[in-house]
Amino acid sequence: MIDLISLGKNAKIASAQLNKLSDEKRNAVLVGVAKALRENADYIMQENTVDIQACVKKGVSDAFIDRLKLTDKVIEGMAVGLEQVAQLESPLGKTVYSYKNKEQGIDVKKITAPFGVIGIIYESRPNVTADAFALCFKTANAVILKGGSDSLRSNVAIAKVIKGALSNAGVDPNAICVIEDTSRQTTTEFMKLNQYVDLLIPRGSASLIKTAVENSTIPIIETGSGNCHVYVDKSANAQMASEIIFNAKTQRYSVCNACESIVIHKDELSALTIIAEKLKEKQVEIRADERAYQTLSGYPYLLYATEEDFYTEYGSAKISVKTVDSLEQAIAHINEHSTHHSESIVTENKENATKFINEIDSSSVYHNASTRFTDGFVFGLGAEIGISTQKMHARGPMGLDALVTWKYIITGNGAVRK
């Protein structure tokens, strides 16, 4: 068992130092870390190779290896990411509210401030190690990282290079800590380290998020699980619907903002054939309810949908179809089955679009656009640490703003409450 208490304490101590550094200093350190990553790319790739060899032996999928693999290009991407974060405006120390209470003789100011220590739990994508560090360091938060076991050596190698660069810059290397024990027991204990960890962000699959929701006593932000819908309304432009759905489903299968389910008005079922014609190009399997199935008979990759399909984030070339009798039914179906990530309505009827936008309970609601846009860069927020699917603190793409809290500062001259 790893000593999580000491790890937490050390991260907390480091966070206090980060808070005292100037923005300029923090930015310079980020640039220094980028340089160190480039200089040590060979070492990082060597360690990564050991992880990959172990995974190949285990017989994992090519997609898994693809996410795990650190090439020169991926490491260069990490370095550029660090430099980009250094360029962003700092969200710290902003006055977001001020109030002069003359009667009581006090000045009240609310300013943005670091959380302190942020914990991140993620799967075997080692580039997250550098990306998450960059965003946390920029916001003067120390970070404790718990990555997937299959990428442990890679994560440790990246963290070692970062720690070296921090030390060279006179910064406490515990600003980044990697939990080297990836056992379930340690992960569960980590989720209860409230004394030292101020915020926990689980990134990854629905089951990882569920484990965090059920076990963490640290406040968490749920991210990334995306069972996204496109609703084809009665008065949709069928051609537009087919292009939006084709893009939302097939542009990238594994991402959380991909469309997993088509909801279609019964009077618009004819559009479904146009949509299917397009999806056929990529051999997308369609899992349809009764009415949609009848409409699509003859489509080469057609199955009946089960209720479970409507709860499933496929992450692959599959999509479900639900036929509804009304806009109200569409909204109810989506609110019941979605993960509250991103949903879109295709319609020429503005009133229906407004109703959909108001009543759909998701982080990002679209009108006549692909769900694939839910992304920090696309929304103009810059680098993101994840897409929040919950409502507290942050919703949708989480940029630097999501990594700060606030503090009230009150000054008086001997003021006492009357």
Q: For binding to a copy of itself (CB under 8 A), which residues are involved?
A: 16, 19-20, 99, 101, 104-106, 108, 110, 115-116, 194, 198-199, 213-214, 217, 219-221, 237, 240, 243-244, 246-248, 251, 353, 357-359, 361-370, 372-374, 378-380, 390-393, 395-397, 405-417
Which C-beta is closer to a copy of itself: that of 66 or that of 214? 214
Min CB(322)–a copy of itself separation in Å: 20
In whole angstroms, the minimum distance from the beta carbon of 226 to a copy of itself comes to 14
What is the smallest separation between the CB atom of 100 and a copy of itself, expressed in angstroms? 8
Listed residue (229, 222, 197, 192) closest to 208, CA to CA? 222
State the minimum distance, in angstroms, from the CB of residue 16 to a copy of itself. 7
Q: Which of residues 297 and 358 has its CB atom nearest to a copy of itself in the complex?
A: 358
- CB contact at 8 A, 253 and 282: no
> HSE on the CB side for 193, CA within 13 Å?
28
Which is nearer to a copy of itself, 62 or 214 (by Cβ)?
Answer: 214
Q: How is residue 63 written in tokens?
A: 């997609």
Distance of closest approach, residue 367 Cβ to a copy of itself, in angstroms: 5
> Phi first, then psi: what are they for 187, rounded to 5°?
-60, -45
Least distance (Å) between residue 192 CB and a copy of itself: 8
Which of 240/269 has CB closer to a copy of itself? 240
Q: Which is nearer to a copy of itself, 186 or 390 (CB)?
A: 390
State CA 200 to chain mean position distance.
Answer: 12
Q: Please, what is the minimum distance in Å from the beta carbon of residue 3 to a copy of itself?
A: 19
Q: How far is the CB of 371 from a copy of itself (least distance, A)?
A: 9
> In Å, what is the CA distance from 331 to each residue of 196, 342, 358?
41, 13, 10
Q: What angle do CA 280, 286, 292 make, to 5 degrees?
A: 110
85 vs 258, beta carbon nearer a copy of itself: 258
Q: Is 98 exposed, middle or buried (0-12, 13-18, 19+ CB in 10 A)?
A: exposed
Q: What are the helix (H) ranges across 169-262? A: 184-190, 206-215, 238-250
- Distance in angstroms (rounded) separating the CA atoms of residues 306 and 333: 14
> CA torsion 203→208→214→217, rounded to 10°?
-40
Question: CB-based contacts of 415: which residues, under 8 Å, 6+ apart?
Answer: 104, 105, 106
C-beta closer to a copy of itself: residue 44 or 120: 120
Q: How far is the CB of 202 from a copy of itself (least distance, A)?
A: 13
Nearer to a copy of itself, 167 or 411 (CB): 411
Query: Which residues are CB-neighbours of 43 under 8 A, at least 6 positions away?
Result: 157, 161
Cβ closer to a copy of itself: 181 or 375? 375
What's the CA dihedral at 22, 24, 26, 30 to 10 degrees?
180
Phi/psi of residue 77, nearest 5 degrees: -60, -40
Q: Please, what is the minimum distance in Å from the beta carbon of residue 231 to a copy of itself?
A: 14
A 10 A CB-CB count for 97 gives 10
Question: Is the CB of 25 or the CB of 395 nearer to a copy of itself?
Answer: 395
